[in-house]
Amino acid sequence: MKTLSLPGILLFAAACFFSCTTKDSDDQVAQNRPNVIFILADDLGYGDLGFLGQQYIETPNIDRLAKEGMFFTRHYSGSPVCAPSRSTLLTGLHTGHTPIRGNSEVQPEGQLPLTDSLQTLSKIFQQAGYATGAFGKWGLGMNQTTGEPVNQGFDDFYGYLCQRYAHRYYPAYLWENGQKVDLPGNDWTQKTTYAPDLIQAKTLEFIEENKANPFFLFMPIVMPHAELAAPDDELFVKYKEKFGEEKPHVAPQGGDYGPDMRISAYQSEAHPHAAFAAMVERTDRFVGEVVAKLEALGLAENTLIVFTSDNGAHREGGADPDFFDSNGPFRGYKRDLYEGGIHVPMIVKWPSKVKAGSSSDHVSAFWDWLPTFGEILGEEKVAGIDGVSLLPSLLGEQSQTRHEYLYWEFHELGGRQAVLQGNWKLVKYQVKDSTKTTLELFDLASDPGEQQDLAAQNPEKTKELAALLEQSHFPNPVFSLFDQ
């Protein structure tokens, strides 16, 4: 991860202005506008859910969402890692255009901030008169920067501002609306208070407090991102009994809590399979608690719920995606631009609007959510974005606009790019060093696991898609993709 100086941040902010158009919201939000809850799991693989074939972990609440809503079979995250994936979601811009394209660090805490000149998904809700709240992991700017949640359209925030600190499930503190909140019994050496449980309590409070108002709730849940850590409760006990004795994960120096702990590292875990499974089911439990709260308050019928993951399954801290078959039929993991890194589960439940038990094979991505919610709210379209509204697909209409192609870029591991056009997908690795660059072409219709490279047999299609890679990348003063 890069560390940026303040001058570098200021240079970046000055260079990353994107124009947009909005309209002034009405004095009162129309009564038929739904509450919206966007649930974003962290590093949850396509195959980690029961309804998609998971054999070891129970996810009854998410499975119920799929049964009562629409499942998108070809939905893609914004990036194979955290911060840029969230940036594409909020800005409606893919990683060739969105300002945050990597997990660049700012010291002593935080990541590169979003600029406040951008129109964001959350600002659209706020401008439309919605109460807005974010609870979980942010990673797009610290307090007193342009990127902090209050400057990006959120009235309330509670959780981790810094995604590096979110590696720790027993942190000394969390952030609430720009203020540090110390956690009882936690001091980076002692582990008493499990942060996700506190964040979930604040999430449910937000729903309760805004039951009489239209609200937008963003839930970037931390789990099941490493470190592997679960309270020693009935969920953990259940999976310890299921898996029995395990090979422990032993953290390198600085991984364990104590005077020599490095916050960015991951702790040891004696039962890594049980811990991971308990974290996934805890995520599922949180989803169930939110749905139950809506039902208890009489809000369920007028609430649109989205559930998805920010990228594919991870392998850090003792996680074992191969054991769990976390990425299902897909090749690759987190940080890959193969399907396993970016093809994510996505469910939408919207009673009386979205047909229960339905599915859509429309090809979509995170940058589609800004225009989707804008259309639902009746707001003017934002200029210059990459997304298209998914509302026709949600309503089962035939008028859905389709992407000419989807594009991704990733700035670590030598630089990576990918483009998807219909069923054709081109993957380019080692883009920073032209002597090592590889181009692979796949036909996802016949080869969803991306096992057969067809570039040599299809030189014209390879050339065509390679041109799309080039034209989709807009130079960025901080995230350099190519050799200088």
Residue 1 lies in a domain: no
Residue 23 lies in a domain: no
Give yes or no: residues 475 and 349 share one domain: no
Residue 25 lies in a domain: no
Give yes or no: residues 364 and 479 share one domain: no
Give the pLDDT of residue 323.
98
User: What digits encode the pLDDT tens for the residues 214-259?
Assistant: 999 999 999 999 999 999 999 999 999 999 999 999 999 999 999 9
Backbone angles phi, psi at 23, to 5 degrees: -120, 155
Residue 17 lies in a domain: no
Residue 13 lies in a domain: no
CATH of the domain at 457: 3.30.1120.10
In the beta sheet, which residues pair with residue 379? none
Q: Which of 373, 403, 433 is the last residue of a domain?
A: 403
Q: How far is residue 424's CA from residue 440's CA, in Å, rounded to a whole number?
A: 11
Q: Which of 361, 386, 403 is the last residue of a domain?
A: 403
**Count: domains in the chain:** 2
Give yes or no: residues 436 and 307 share one domain: no
Asked if residue 312 lies in contact with residue 80, where contact means CB atoms within 8 angstroms, the answer is yes
Q: Which tokens is 7 given?
A: 């001058």
User: What digits encode the pLDDT tens for the residues 343-389?
Assistant: 999 999 999 999 999 999 999 999 999 999 999 999 999 999 999 99
Give the pLDDT of residue 461.
98
CATH of the domain at 368: 3.40.720.10
Give yes or no: residues 456 and 416 share one domain: yes
Q: How far is residue 326's CA from residue 345's CA, in Å, rounded to a whole number?
A: 11
Give the pLDDT of residue 32.
77
Asked if residue 356 lies in contact with residue 67, where contact means CB atoms within 8 angstroms, the answer is yes
Asked if residue 171 lies in contact with residue 141, where contact means CB atoms within 8 angstroms, the answer is no
Give yes or no: residues 302 and 334 share one domain: yes
CA atoms within 13 A on the CB side of 334: 23
Give the pLDDT of residue 24.
38
- Parent domain of 449: 404-484
DSSP string, 41-66: ESS--GGGSGGGT-SS---HHHHHHH
Nearest to 89 by CA among 473, 390, 479, 377: 390
Q: How far is residue 172's CA from residue 181's CA, in Å, rounded to a whole number?
A: 9
Residue 14, classified by CB atoms within 10 Å of its CB into exposed (0-12), middle (13-18) or buried (19+), is: exposed
Give yes or no: residues 437 and 330 share one domain: no
99 prior amide bond cis, ω within 30: no
Give yes or no: residues 56 and 96 share one domain: yes
Q: How far is residue 137's CA from residue 254's CA, in Å, rounded to a whole number?
A: 23
Give yes or no: residues 111 and 229 share one domain: yes
Give yes or no: residues 69 and 55 share one domain: yes
Give the pLDDT of residue 128.
97
β-pairing, 3-4 vs 105-106, is parallel
pLDDT along the chain (484 residues), means of 10: 43 41 36 90 98 98 98 98 98 97 93 93 97 98 96 98 98 97 97 98 98 97 98 98 98 97 97 98 98 98 98 98 97 98 98 97 98 96 96 96 98 96 98 95 98 98 98 93 71
Give the pLDDT of residue 483.
63
Residue 200 lies in a domain: yes
Q: Which of 384, 403, 422 is the last residue of a domain?
A: 403
Give the pLDDT of residue 17.
39
Give yes or no: residues 371 and 481 share one domain: no
Give yes or no: residues 351 and 377 share one domain: yes
